[in-house]
Amino acid sequence: MKQALLYTESEIDQLITKLTDEEKVALVIGRGMDNVGNLGVIDGRVPGAGGQTHDVKRLGIPDIIVCDGPSGIRINPTREGTTKTFYATAFPSETVLGSTWSKELAQQIGTALGTEAKEYGIDVLLAPGVNIHRNPLGGRNFEYISEDPVLSGVMAMHLINAVQKLGIGTSLKHYAANNAEHNRLFSNSLVSERALRELYLRPFEIAVKGAQPWTIMTSYNKINNKYTSERRDLNYQLLREEWGFKGLVMTDWYSGFPSVEVIRAGNQSNDVSAQLRSGNDLIMPGSKIQLEAALADVKSGKLSKKDLDFAVRNVLNLVSKSPTSLKYKYSDSPDLESHAQLSRKIAGEGTVMLKNADALPLSSNTRIATFGIGSYHLVVGGTGSSEVTTAYNIPVYKGLQNANFSLYKPLLDKYIPYVEEEEKKDIERRAKLNKLAPLGVISQLEISDQELAAAAANTDVAILTFGRNSAEEQDLNVDTEYNLSQDEQSLLNRVSEIYKKQHKKVIVVLNVGSVMNTSWRDKVDAILVTWFAGAEGGNALADIVSGRVNPSAKTTATFPNSYSDVPSAQSFFATEASDHRDIRYTEGIYVGYRYYDSFKIATAYPFGFGLSYTTFDYSDLKLNKSEFKDDIKVTLTITNTGKTAGKEVVQMYVSAPKGTIDKPVKVLVDFGKTKLLQPGESQTMELTIGPKEIASFHTDKSQWLADAGIYQVLIGKSSQNIVLKSEFNIENTLVVEKVKPAFTERLDFKDLKNK
């Protein structure tokens, strides 16, 4: 369907000739956030939205509204002068969506996000994020999809297409190599061009080529000593010339500033003109001092009319197709009930079952003891741009009650009032701070030996839930967040010991934003990872526990045996020996399963792993050609061989022959998910092997090359459980793409090699 527009291209040409320099500068500098303590527009038509553009009333150019975020619409739930509420759906985080491995669900959540945003008067949704899970301590891993560029890019592509089909924009972020939060305003990602192109830029490329997001947001960090917002090779050469991007590039909020203190002081410390010259079209959120600086640079010639007009054109193109410009009559009443049901569905299909020793599902008459603060305090999602004000949330215990399970009352009586009081205190604490303030940690309650013995004697199963907060501006720590804290480990040990003595089952639920240490896994009978499952988290968990929903999720990041096994363990946190806080990506292309599988490092749970209540057989693997010249179509049959209906994720990896540069032992090239298969039912799946997915980037030649030789096609139930194999040949080395050199700083990269 052709996109409706307020202006034709020729009309935009005419508008640009009519605009004064002052008006042009205003169009490329955002507005709406005068106080950095408030994270949203206070007095605009959508209070709490992330920002807006300037209008030009003289020429009838309207302003438009942009709004977070990745897990739902982040706006104020109440407004002055009305008793109506404006709550939004707190959807599961992007890691949950990734764990579904479902392109269909990516489309469905995109439709719901887009609908909700449009009905609340939003023009651009600031999502999705596709940064790679480089390290388990990444503070915003929850906001990103996976450790793999293909899974990340393809899922984002489907979400973006669904949103934009509704006539509302998206903002693909954070571009690029924004894999840590500590010192994010001035951290410096030192990363080779090969690692950038094969890993950190690849999901952006896939999403841009497959969905053409209306906007892209540059990140805070530097890449190789230059802010991403000031890199023309990143924002113009790659994005527009190589990938064919047609939209608008905006900065992240206050990017290019060295500290929050400088922003609050109102000092002009970033180079607005450098950002505009480098391919940023819209400086967000904008300030008076930036307007003045940009205008002065136009008059002095530091910012050319050509660069300014280029940015103005992209802003006008965005404005032209926005719901506001097309006078969409939004209702302020999206269908929150149906969106809650979708949220529950995605949360259930995104819950990974890591272990099940005949513990799940539970029969309806099972008596359950719910231990741990996490069973009563749900971490709905991360804070910052992903935080959604929702009318309610369903913690684990409440979801189990809603499913009519019998819960041990003395524990409820002990935990519930304590958690409610602590939550109230935290709300009061955060109200005094800005909206980036992280959630507080609620200390574990002491459970006496007598209380524990009574619970074990009067219940059949123990469920322990461990939760983790995640937030902008901070990463996790090893001792109490990647690992269980001492209090958590003690509780787990004591519960496990007494229940095991009575031959009763222990189930652990992980309400976390990133992978964590599971060295305690032999002490328990089942492990469920819900990630940040949104407001319906408890109901979705109960669906899995009861067997109403058969688990079908797969991990999107590898669970290592210990943090020391992570390839970036020694280089994740920025060094402080220089002003720009260097983060050295010494592992190069070996991130996640590319590292563990290539270097034969044992893991707790591999990439793409997840259990089901049923079993599946894989058969009839066929390739439509044995010689690669262009796309190869691959088919195979999946059969449900168990006794329960279920869905199966199909993962296709390719192992390339040795060539002139080292390569991972395998890489994911495509994936799919079956429909709900009844026992005995089969489905034929079709996957595709494309040239870019099997090529490696040769920095010295500025080429993507697929070496001559035999390529193995590997169909897996995880990256480490390959069940079908085939092969194809490339007779002569294939030049997939020739590009211009980028990131040409002469830095001494010593990337890890697989020898």
Nearest to 385 by CA among 521, 525, 285, 303: 285
Q: Cis omega (within 30 of 0) on the bond before 69?
A: yes
Structure tokens at 318: 């965005």
E strand spans, 453-577 = 461-467, 505-511, 526-529, 559-560
What share of residues in the chain are helix, strand, coil (percent, to 5)?
30, 20, 50
Structure tokens at 504: 């009763």
Q: What whole-number distance in Å separates Cα of residue 735 and Cα of residue 711? A: 16
Q: CA 226, 297, 57, 5 torsion: positive or negative?
A: negative
Output the six-digit token pair for 511. Answer: 């309400």
CB 489 within 8 A of CB 466: no
Residue 576: burial class (beta carbons within 10 Å; 0-12, 13-18, 19+): exposed
Contact by Cβ (8 Å): 6, 321: yes
On whether the CB atoms of residues 355 and 521 are closer than 8 A, the answer is yes
Q: Are β-strands 461-467 and 526-529 bridged in parallel, bridged antiparallel, or unpaired?
A: unpaired
Catalytic residue among 55, 63, 123, 252: 252
125 and 67 Cβ atoms separated by less than 8 Å? yes
DSSP designation for 468: -
Based on the residue annotation, tell me whether 522 is a catalytic residue of this protein: no
**Residue 544 contacts residue 646 (beta carbons within 8 Å):** no
CA distances from 738 to 138, 510, 692, 744 (A): 33, 45, 12, 16
Among the listed residues 638, 590, 643, the one whose alpha carbon sits nearest the alpha carbon of residue 616: 638
449-457 and 409-431 helices, crossing angle to 10°: 120
Q: How many other CB atoms are there within 10 angstroms of residue 17's CB atom?
A: 7
- Is 618 within 8 Å of 224 (Cβ atoms)? no
- Which strands form 505-511's sheet, in the order they lie side by side? 352-356, 526-529, 505-511, 461-467, 367-371, 406-407
In contact, 591 and 147? CB cutoff 8 Å: yes
Residue 26: CB atoms within 10 Å: 24
Residues involved in catalysis: 252
